[in-house]
Structure 1
């Protein structure tokens, strides 16, 4: 009995220390990487956004585990001379509130961003989506076709795939993982592990100098963000499977770019089929480019947006 009490006491101490370290890690991350922009409220949900430049409205939607900083590193400044660029944190990531605990669906996320953009006076913006953000951008075009002028997709997850969810997301999307594993990761995993993961996502290209300290690895490791991201990722395949048959309904100009060296969202599984599913869509394949074209091939990325704008009659 004494041994049991000792073990329970040690467990209680471990849990208390883990929760304290997790909260401390989050406080330090938010102090080091505070919100870059402003916050508006949509149906009771706070939405963090950055807005710069002047010209036709352009909304940028980031990928899994990301936040506005992925675009403010360099892309926003490149485009702000000719567009009014609006960057949103997706629900549960960066400084935008979670919509729910089950994983905000692609349509729910698109709906939130459509309403947020409208509050900022962007009723029919150009929409750019990268990776998971491309899935949200496609949901925007499918479900709210009169609320955008054109669509640019970069390495977008768009079509069903055959590989499984993987151990990481399987664990983190399970109730036990959400309750126990995620707090432990927040508490004990150093930010450099996220930086190493980012480097793998960029392969075969390299992350640009200064990207790691700008993006905010500690923001990704917060419990709210890890929980939201895990649930969104766990639900993605089923949502894409349901969404893909409707791509033929998209009637706005669509430009697609995708690297042929992308191992995260393979070109052959996603963008090649997508280019055939949307009437008039144009696919540009980027040789030797991995999953981050907006950093590894910035000129090609910006040119795709410019082509979309021209086709929409905005340039």
Structure 2
């Protein structure tokens, strides 16, 4: 009986989340795979790729509207998250994600966009630059997970990536973990800052708590270290102008371990260190991130 009630409550909560936070943009068909894209503004094309457990709303809260004053901004949901479809039962690799998002951008007429990604999205942006160099004008990386790390995968994502975790643990979380708990947990992600007023209401915690989204995210996270380890030796091949933005107080993706090392691996890369900023510069330091993207555009001859 508990299992039946749990599944019913989980389904009800997912329906409410999708009703309260519907797609912000359009659903593209990329060879039978649905990709959710939000497009705003006019000018040179910029693609924004969100991080782990995110969706388009993370970027549309502050950064995308700011960039839209000078650029045509395309914000994607990564596969399995938000309203983009998952297509790999083992978890979409960063190379696969770069491929489908590049094809989605091309369908929108963005053949050589500036590509900007935050955290896990930075890994996808790096994969785009390495594997699809003819389809990118410049690269902007925001607190990117870029250099192979030594810390183990956290227990939640380790369990959630398994079939058992998907069948047993995730329905319980979807059914019973309240939105206020997720909203409170956002402050941990933003630390030492707090999530800005209105961010949680815009972001939609219920979208993150859907079973399929948590499972897709966990599988991607479980595979990420091996994928970054394989990709990292190819960073010197990146030839487009590259700007990196990273907070000095980021304890989620360390500045010294990732971005300072990455700067030395990509020819001509420039690094801006944001004093006292944590892991979410695209929200709490959006003007500084927008300025870095504008510099990348200028270096690429787009401004």
Give the alignment's TM-score, normalised by structure 2: 0.99
Where does structure 1 differ by over 2 angstroms across 4 or more consecutive aligned residues? Answer: none
The match for 2:239 among 251, 254, 264 is: 251
Can you list the C-alpha shifts for 1:85-114, whole angstroms capped at 9, x where unaligned? 000000010000001221100000000000
Query: What SS class does the counterpart of residue 15 from structure 1 fall into?
Result: helix
Matching residue of 2:300: 312
For residues 161 and 154 of structure 1, what CA distance do their matches in structure 2 show?
Answer: 17
Query: What SS class does the counterpart of residue 123 from structure 2 fall into?
Result: helix
Matching residue of 2:99: 111
The match for 1:54 among 11, 36, 42 is: 42
Query: What SS class does the counterpart of residue 104 from structure 2 fall into?
Result: helix
Is the radius of gyration larger for structure 1 or structure 2?
A: 1
| 1:256 to partner: Cα distance | 0.3
| 1:174 to partner: Cα distance | 2.0
User: Would you say 1:190 and 2:178 are equivalent positions?
Assistant: yes
For residues 220 and 299 of structure 1, what CA distance do their matches in structure 2 show?
Answer: 26
Gaps of 5+ in 2: none
Alpha-carbon RMSD across the aligned residues, in angstroms, is 0.7
Give the length in aligned residue pairs.
303
Matching residue of 1:92: 80
Report matched runs for 1:275-290 at 5 Å.
275-290=263-278
Matching residue of 1:164: 152
Matching residue of 1:139: 127
User: Would you say 1:234 and 2:230 are equivalent positions?
Assistant: no
Gaps of 5+ in 1: 1-12
User: Would you say 1:75 and 2:51 are equivalent positions?
Assistant: no
User: Would you say 1:152 and 2:153 are equivalent positions?
Assistant: no
User: Would you say 1:19 and 2:12 are equivalent positions?
Assistant: no
Can you list the C-alpha shifts for 1:189-245, whole angstroms capped at 9, x where unaligned? 111222122110100012111101000000000011001000000001111111100
| 1:252 to partner: Cα distance | 0.3
The match for 1:123 among 91, 96, 111 is: 111
Can you list the C-alpha shifts for 1:22-60, whole angstroms capped at 9, x where unaligned? 100000000000111111111210001100000000000
| 1:175 to partner: Cα distance | 2.0
For residues 161 and 230 of structure 1, what CA distance do their matches in structure 2 show?
Answer: 17
For residues 127 and 33 of structure 2, what CA distance do their matches in structure 1 show?
Answer: 20
Can you list the C-alpha shifts for 1:54-87, whole angstroms capped at 9, x where unaligned? 0000000000000000111121111111100000
